[in-house]
Structure 1
């Protein structure tokens, strides 16, 4: 099912001016103005000016009578549009392949199928919302089945958080909104209000013929687009220098075999362009231009830069079944939004007659196939990190990352403890490999779970512990292994207990299970920890 997002920037022009000129105080109301014969009209207002009653279209003279200290700057609509295009290119690179500016102060995104890259649609929306907000822009965001519904909700409902309209609920979300939310002309909305049509639900219930005859077909075209009765395409924006190839078809196609044939042609053309540029693709977007105007999309990524047309075509063909051809596809466009320098390499044709036993496996191809099927974040390899804490000794690297890669820059921790940010840390040098004398369990529990333990202090191992409501009697134990908090980190080992000590024990239960337990504290001094017990992992 299609899902569209509308990003609304209510103070786009003034927010850009404040970011560009730090001398513009945020407390002072700010507007932009355009000349109109012998007067100047307000083109955009910031939040403070809007709260004081100013609105676009008001004369600057009237605005100054309301706010004497008003800051007025000449508007530059072309510069605003170019800034919106740059923002769209950024969003297209990070969030979705189909992104387009929605002048004068918004973006439209088709995020269908992209939610899996972020762990869900809500996480994608929150990430986009927070990043734009953190850049200094006022933002409102809505996600719905249709562009019209997302556009209306973003401007009339959404506030301090993203608004996600559940699938199939576009009509319910639109019902109580004003008719002006349908993106119709202001004069038409005013005339409808004088006739008593103030909400969209009234317009839906009214007979169509009289209103269509009076206001034209555009009124109900917008209504049907918002309700999803007719499609509304998003024309994606591409950087000028991005490698791109296109195939226009003599007649619409809709079968998997026809799509596969065009894909092979497109990847061959793109590979030739990449060879000329000395580049390899790391990400490809394939756009299917349907006859009804909709543009479903396939996005794939590669672990390393490549321009092998057969490999790229295979990855794209694996996702053909996710495309709904509708009434047919009349053109297809293949774009490489992410490329890397790639020098020439020796072709394999010269050694085709030799024994292939010396040739290693095509690992990048396997990684690409698995990552595009299950997600990039689910395919990784483990590496050791210099740390004294077990949950930070192991980190995840990209599957094909170099062994010499800096784990602090490339790796993500296996756990997500609070108060353990790696930013600004200056750790003492330690070994970057695991110590064979200090075995670690194959499975770490993140975060460690609290357990009830019977044990003699200070150094005796547990005799019995209760975990998740089950009693485990200990038959054998080894320990303790004492680990101290990392003093060089902000906050120490734990955010709330900065000077705790951990005593770890390997225990084997009477039922045969082998677990890794630890106690917070040294067993004697309460200043080292509260003497509570946790289970941190299980051995195979």
Structure 2
């Protein structure tokens, strides 16, 4: 499987973080703000917000010069240590949501190994859109790119004009060729040295013979080229929270056979569960990393519906993920971690504790976890009722492990066993507004109504939208001559156009 790497660039990270720390006391976005650092013994502009950049300030400019150019300039000392610590916390947040392999990319970004993860979000572009939307919701501006390598994604996130850049697998060379050499993460003095003989773009550097290039400028430009073009692997060392329990095993000889990897994965799971038990914790998720001899890291993740530390069950779930792991030429290190572990204490069954002969409720967490691992977390859920009189809004998805609640539907008016996601229009022959139709045509078939019950009038939820202030629906249960029972409704009261379109719809089928 081709590696896919996401680079998240936070162009205003220090000032965005400052605004979050200040909260309601933060100045308006139109206020120019500068973060002050030191260049030698001189105080200089180390970072600025968008308003300061628009005012004509530049990085490295003397603070005295900047304050003279922009009246009312807000000055704050750059907190590089605080920025890096916050970036570490942001990486932990991304790790919980998107991929086991996430690392901070100081001073202003994250790197995420998205190999095999994008389908969980509906594709790569939707995954990037979701990341950017979540960051902007908390006041962090971001540019994001996904490519076949860390170096390529890093360059495109920072030097392309697109806020979201998805590089088609195998097309990285074409996208990188026109970017400046600074996009290769080379030191500034080396970038200046390469500019003297006329190297301006990555494409020009890539087309140059590597021998003379290495002789004159060293191996660093070639190494960065190879990393950007995915010719040389660049491992992403995942971030860990300080309190995260983890276990590791280093192999004297690389392993790669599925049965061998499964055996050691089982041993590590036993060690991890022992550590969880010692801390009275249960895992809500387990991340596994497989360090290959070619410096690439494969990862797998299982999510659990409830905290657990049952080693055989967890090992079985992890081993099912091995089919998505490519060991390459061998794995020389394996790591298991349980991020976000929660307190877990085994309790005596309620019926047994009370001395009763009845049976306690069945524990479905094992079945739910197995299905979620095979089908995907979003494919396993429970239906429960919601507080709404509108039928389409009266049912919601709930976590599969959630205790089932009694449906809050009207007792006197039963609901059909099959709801349609969208009510389907029908043609009717009706005699009076308050009576059911004498016949209706649905999906090209005309059905004569033999029996009917209703109407059940449901009013719009005016507290949610002004458009529903006068809305109403009249629902009928009808039975045709063949014995089929249906739930139909008229959109409106049959007289006043303000109450609805007065058209008829099929809402569901009984039995």
Relative to the length of structure 2, the TM-score reads 0.90
Q: CA–CA distance in 2 between the matches of 1:475 and 1:171?
A: 67
- The equivalences for 1:63-102 within 5 A come to 63-102=66-105
Which of 299, 302, 322 does residue 300 from structure 1 map onto? 302
Please list the CA deviations of residues 360-398 of structure 1 after superposition, one character each: whole Å capped at 9, or x if unmatched.
866321111001111122112222333211112222222
Shift, 1:488, TM fit: 5.9
Higher mean C-alpha deviation, range 256-265 or range 357-366: 357-366
1:474 equivalent to 2:447? Answer yes
Shift, 1:80, TM fit: 0.9
SS at match of 1:338: coil
Q: CA–CA distance in 1 between the matches of 2:471 and 2:315?
A: 55
Please list the CA deviations of residues 392-412 of structure 1 after superposition, one character each: whole Å capped at 9, or x if unmatched.
2222222221236xxxxxxxx
Shift, 1:505, TM fit: 3.2
**C-alpha contact 1:140 1:158 (8 A) present in aligned 2:** no
SS at match of 2:374: helix
- The equivalences for 1:444-459 within 5 A come to 444-459=419-434
Please list the CA deviations of residues 13-36 of structure 1 after superposition, one character each: whole Å capped at 9, or x if unmatched.
111112222243321111111233
Distance 1:197-1:441 versus aligned 2 partners, 3 A rule = farther
Q: CA–CA distance in 2 between the matches of 1:23 and 1:345?
A: 49
Counterpart residue number, 2:457: 483
Counterpart residue number, 1:441: 416
Distance 1:250-1:473 versus aligned 2 partners, 3 A rule = same
Higher mean C-alpha deviation, range 271-280 or range 63-72: 63-72
Q: CA–CA distance in 2 between the matches of 1:443 and 1:182?
A: 58
SS at match of 2:7: strand
Counterpart residue number, 2:16: 15
Counterpart residue number, 2:355: none
SS at match of 1:333: strand
Q: CA–CA distance in 1 between the matches of 2:177 and 2:469?
A: 54
Shift, 1:179, TM fit: 2.2
1:130 equivalent to 2:104? Answer no
Counterpart residue number, 2:318: 316
Distance 1:179-1:521 versus aligned 2 partners, 3 A rule = same
- The equivalences for 1:89-488 within 5 A come to 89-157=92-160, 159=162, 161-345=163-347, 363-403=364-404, 432-435=407-410, 437-462=412-437, 470-476=443-449, 478-487=452-461
SS at match of 1:176: coil
Shift, 1:196, TM fit: 3.6
Shift, 1:483, TM fit: 3.2
SS at match of 1:318: helix
Shift, 1:166, TM fit: 2.5
Distance 1:505-1:58 versus aligned 2 partners, 3 A rule = same
Please list the CA deviations of residues 510-529 of structure 1 after superposition, one character each: whole Å capped at 9, or x if unmatched.
78865433221110122221
Distance 1:132-1:528 versus aligned 2 partners, 3 A rule = same
Shift, 1:270, TM fit: 0.8
Segments of 5+ residues of structure 2 without an aligned counterpart are 350-357
Distance 1:65-1:358 versus aligned 2 partners, 3 A rule = closer
Counterpart residue number, 1:536: 507
Please list the CA deviations of residues 237-256 of structure 1 after superposition, one character each: whole Å capped at 9, or x if unmatched.
10111111111111111111
Distance 1:4-1:514 versus aligned 2 partners, 3 A rule = farther
Q: CA–CA distance in 2 between the matches of 1:184 and 1:462?
A: 77
Counterpart residue number, 1:423: none
Shift, 1:7, TM fit: 1.0
**C-alpha contact 1:472 1:509 (8 A) present in aligned 2:** no
**C-alpha contact 2:385 2:396 (8 A) present in aligned 1:** yes
Higher mean C-alpha deviation, range 10-19 or range 149-158: 149-158
Higher mean C-alpha deviation, range 162-171 or range 84-93: 162-171
SS at match of 1:113: coil
Number of aligned residue pairs? 499
Shift, 1:218, TM fit: 1.7
Segments of 5+ residues of structure 1 without an aligned counterpart are 348-356, 405-430
